[in-house]
Structure 1
Amino acid sequence: MAYQTFRQEYLQVPPVTRAYTTACVLTTAAVQLELITPFQLYFNPELIFKHFQVWRLITNYLFFGPVGFNFLFNMIFLYRYCRMLEEGSFRGRTADFVFMFLFGGFLMTIFGLFVNLVFLGQAFTIMLVYVWSRRNPYVRMNFFGLLIFQAPFLPWVLMGFSLLLGNSIIVDLLGIAVGHIYFFLEDVFPNQPGGGRLLRTPSVLKAIFDTPEDDPNYNPLPEERPGGFAWGEGQRLGG
């Protein structure tokens, strides 16, 4: 019974969120079981471009460190905000969501050539948080019961939290920068005088990922629910 319930809940998670979070968990499990090592996964331009270890372009986004607070923190934020984007502003637009993944991953890989980061998954999570926060500007957030602020400040609060923990803020700044570039090109520039859409999802992605009908049994997670322990509770202003 428990297995059936878990399977049903798992299959209700939208496909991109399900695939990415599952890949992250399985990669971490494989490292914990010593089936693979982080040295086989990390981002190394020389090994990628000179020795053709191209899998590193993907695997460096799948490992968030050993199981612990940092891993759980990242998995919660990755799952929640990835799912809320996919079930919110990307509802019925799976191809566009996949294209955002590819575009964000491409930019981060380019920037990764100039910064000393060997795993880019945390920055990718911040990118997802940034895009969600800018598309939900009136959601009021509660961070550990200490701070109450509107959603667009969330990435910056997380950066301050990382700083307090003694972590490098380069990761957060990279995620914010890539998230802002995507948000500007997709949401801001097309609505400016003389502006237009510069990001267009390739038709091949639409043919693969977009389906004409919604699953009637699909149970979406409300986008305005930015959950995740006490630091992610929120509600719309005036609600």
Structure 2
Amino acid sequence: MNLRRTMFTLAAAAVVSLATAVPAHADQKVTFKLDELNGSGSQATATLTARDDGSLHVKITGDGFTPNSPHAQHIHGAAHSRNFFCPPASADKDGDGQIATEEGLSQYGDVFVSLTTKGDTSKKSGLAVDRMPVADESGRLSYERTIPASGLPAGTIDSLQHLHIVQHGLDVNGNDKYDMAALGESVFAKSLGVSGIPEEATNPATCGEVAATGGVETGADSTGGVENLGLFAAGGIALLGAGAVLTVRRRVRVTA
């Protein structure tokens, strides 16, 4: 009897061990909407899926974006914090009808992950628009990438419900490109020592918060801020407009 009881105990322990060996966050998935900001006319749907190897699969599809142009996009937030959110209209401090990047900083928080198409995904690549997705000629934008655990900040997977996504770049004057005519020069870019960047290229176009109810569950979708764009990409930024290429070749250092 004692031998049978011992064998049962060992078997039960083995089952518990196997169960706990799989990360609690394996295959968590959240799907949420990215709503327009600044009258951009843009909207998107994002899905974040945490894999059991610690990687994060990101899929974003949307429309209404400035055609044939790159759109910087990021996961924003902080591990285990709900203190960041998409900016309300009141964030427009100068009353010009636009929430500029610098006006949204306190609501956005820091860049958690730069959603580039390849290479580095840290906040250093916050405006590496040569590696950001480009909307097609109809303004549709599609992005899909699996970011390995090594490319994610600590706490990303365990904090999905605290994160959100912001996409940048809008066409205020309706000429299908980024230019100075509508909003002038980007104050944010100029504050980093980079001149000649249109405000249209850096202002936020969409924002969406992960607003999971009752936590994020395996396989469950939840439908629903944060930004310090950090460094311009070392080596430059290519801002593509219809018939125009704006290239910046300057390394800028920003303290957190």
Greater Cα radius of gyration, structure 1 or 2? 2
Q: Which has the higher strand share?
A: 2
TM over 0.5: no
What is the TM-score of this pair, normalised by structure 2?
A: 0.23
Compare relative contact order (CA 8 Å, sep 6+) and give the higher one, 1 or 2: 2
